[in-house]
Amino acid sequence: MRIGLVNDLPMAVELLRRIVVSTTEHAVAWIAVNGREAVEACRRDRPDLILMDLNMPEMDGVAATQRIMAETPCPILLVTASVDANVSGVYDAMGHGALDAVDIPSVGADGNAQAQSAALLARIAMIGRLSRDVAPVVRTTAPARTAAPSAQQLIAIGASAGGPAAVATLLAGLPGGFRAALILVQHLDAQFVPGFASWLGQHTALSVRPAIEGDRPEPGTVLIAASGDHLVFKSGHDLGYRSEPRDYVYRPSVDVFFESVAQWWQGDLVGVLLTGMGRDGARGLKLLRDRKYLTLAQDRATSAVYGMPKAAAAIDAASEILPLAAIAPRLVEACRQSF
């Protein structure tokens, strides 16, 4: 991959350069010292990936991500001094289409620095696979429904790049007394999920928290997949995590979650697929539609990255394709009419 580096600190740039060129699979496309230079460099030479800092002079990483994804879109990985210290900026940038965020590796030759460098390279490799749009193989025939929960309402949501802002907008449109339970699978490293849940909680009257093993859907509560493993229903009531399938690029996978919903859930349901790169969730959404559930996909005009919803539209997985602002009102209507 040809990778653009965006950071105003020479030491950080050199560290990232060495990590990138430590493997023959990658090369540095260009270096920018602020967001404005990155936007201009991307216009001249669009790379396969950008490693973007957040805090920079002239134009920060949030504004640069917004400009690049609007003008010359390409995969962006946020690499900053401290993700935890920049939670708001991280999710703002992800809302504009950044794929993920990691702390910049520490300097040194000790085991911790080497492990951090290896983890960054692994993240880069994963984004490379996503960029090639490798779709996981999912069963397309619906498994038989087994033991079901008591009548309860569920909104199953999948999202990836651009998802944080899209989910925040959706949740902000739901009333505090919304009766359905909501479960979200967002492509996000597990370590960032608690901060993400807290950030989402600022945008909604609903309760938001990471899902833990043995959780059950709760009315008016948003549960978020919070593991590198896949969130699934393990029975008609209980949620949990499983490692299989291990070879999926997407972890947690929206398809795997939607498939478990189709297997176990017998209450009222709406499946929702939001902005994201790749195809994860499209086949799972089709499975839900084949089970006669209402399925919604975000439209092209309002998607930060029109990958996952586009894949869903291509296989007729969505019974309705809606702009982001219309999805929450549609859920309220469905809850009132069907639930």
| Long-range contacts formed by 297-303: CB under 8 A, 24+ apart | 297/272, 297/273, 297/321, 297/322, 298/166, 298/273, 298/274, 298/322, 298/323, 298/324, 298/327, 299/323, 299/324, 302/166, 302/275, 303/162, 303/166, 303/274, 303/275
- In the prediction, which pLDDT does 107 show? 74
Closest CA to 302 of 284, 281, 326: 326
Domains defined for the chain, CATH in brackets: 2-131 (3.40.50.2300), 153-337 (3.40.50.180)
- In the prediction, which pLDDT does 108 show? 64
Tokens of 40: 């201009």
- In the prediction, which pLDDT does 192 show? 83
- In the prediction, which pLDDT does 230 show? 96
Q: Which residues are catalytic?
A: 160, 187, 280
Whole-angstrom CA distances from 265 to 59, 159, 226, 261 are 47, 20, 21, 5
SS3 50: strand
pLDDT digits (tens, 9 = 90+) for 57-81: 999 999 999 999 989 988 999 998 8
pLDDT digits (tens, 9 = 90+) for 203-220: 899 999 999 999 999 999
- What amino acid is encoded at 258 in this protein? F
Structure-token match 């839900």, residue found: 288
pLDDT along the chain (339 residues), means of 10: 95 94 93 97 95 95 94 91 83 86 77 81 81 45 40 88 91 92 92 88 93 94 94 93 89 96 93 94 97 96 92 97 96 79
- In the prediction, which pLDDT does 148 show? 37
- Is the separation of the CB atoms in 68 and 50 below 8 Å? yes
- Report the distance separating Cα 180 and Cα 228, nearest Å: 26
Structure-token match 């080497």, residue found: 114
Structure-token match 């492990």, residue found: 115
